[in-house]
Amino acid sequence: MTHRVIDLETWPRAAQFHLFRSYRQPHYATTTRLDVTHLMGRKAAGVSIYRGCLYAIGAGIHAVPELCLRFRGDTVVTHDAITLSMTVPTDVGSFGYAYVPFQADFAEFDRQARALIGKAASGGVLDANSGARDDLAYLSCMPWLDYTSINNALPGPDDCIPRVTWGKIVARDGRWDMAMTLEVHHALVDGAQVGAYFAATQVALNAI
């Protein structure tokens, strides 16, 4: 993990950080709909819709510096790169975890993601993060449900790893869209950054 420590003495939002670190329930989840018409059109060219969504999420996270921030006690660090950790159904009816480093080149990301997800599906990677790493974002797809809101099971107020969930892709008036949720810790991420994430993710969806 390559990271640097944030100087709280000069960090503009240090006051907000200390405020929300004191909350018992500091997380909040925001759901919106994203247009995946372009991505669905790429399916004929062999592009995986699922891995395309993973890529766009990774691009959105890396476009917003606050989503790369983590705290360790009262120390705040920023990571140069975030690894995407997603739940993967296994062949025996349970689920495991894949860990896919984000890469800006879609073809290379897609190749690596396919291999790592395949390994997790066959039982090659089963362990959830023990807490040893915080250079992660947790991802989960719910393709069975066109939901309107969702939140995640969280171990406590000190967990500051962002969660991204997305749902069933549905047709509407000749286009395709889906729900996506970003859940974050308010000590590190405000509403403006949530909006920036969704905007950047939409740009990536349109560019694959």
pLDDT at residue 133 tops 90: yes
- Tokens representing 6 are 């944030």
Q: What is the pLDDT of residue 56?
A: 98
**Confidence label for 124 from pLDDT (cuts 50, 70 and 90):** low
**Model confidence over 41-98: pLDDT tens digits?**
999 999 999 999 999 999 999 999 999 999 999 999 999 999 999 999 877 777 889 9
Task: Report, as an integer, the average pLDDT of 179-202.
Answer: 98
Task: Report, as an integer, the average pLDDT of 158-178.
Answer: 97
What residues have CB less than 8 Å from 207, skipping those under 6 apart? Answer: none
Provide the b/e sequence for 120-151 (b: ≥16 CB within 10 Å): bbeeebeeeeeeeebbbbbbbbeeeeeeeebe
Q: What is the pLDDT of residue 89?
A: 85
**Confidence label for 126 from pLDDT (cuts 50, 70 and 90):** low
- The strand pairing partners of 71, in sequence order, are 76
What the chain holds in terms of domains, given with CATH numbers, is: 30-205 (3.30.559.10)
Q: What is the pLDDT of residue 1?
A: 62
Q: What is the pLDDT of residue 2?
A: 85
Q: Which of 90-99, 122-131, 136-145, 155-164 has the lowest mean pLDDT?
A: 122-131
Burial of 173 (0-12, 13-18, 19+ CB in 10 A): exposed
pTM of the predicted model over 0.85: yes
Alpha-carbon torsion angle 28, 30, 31, 32, nearest 10:
180
Q: What is the pLDDT of residue 94?
A: 77
Cβ atoms < 10 Å from Cβ of 196: 18
Task: Report, as an integer, the average pLDDT of 18-29.
Answer: 97
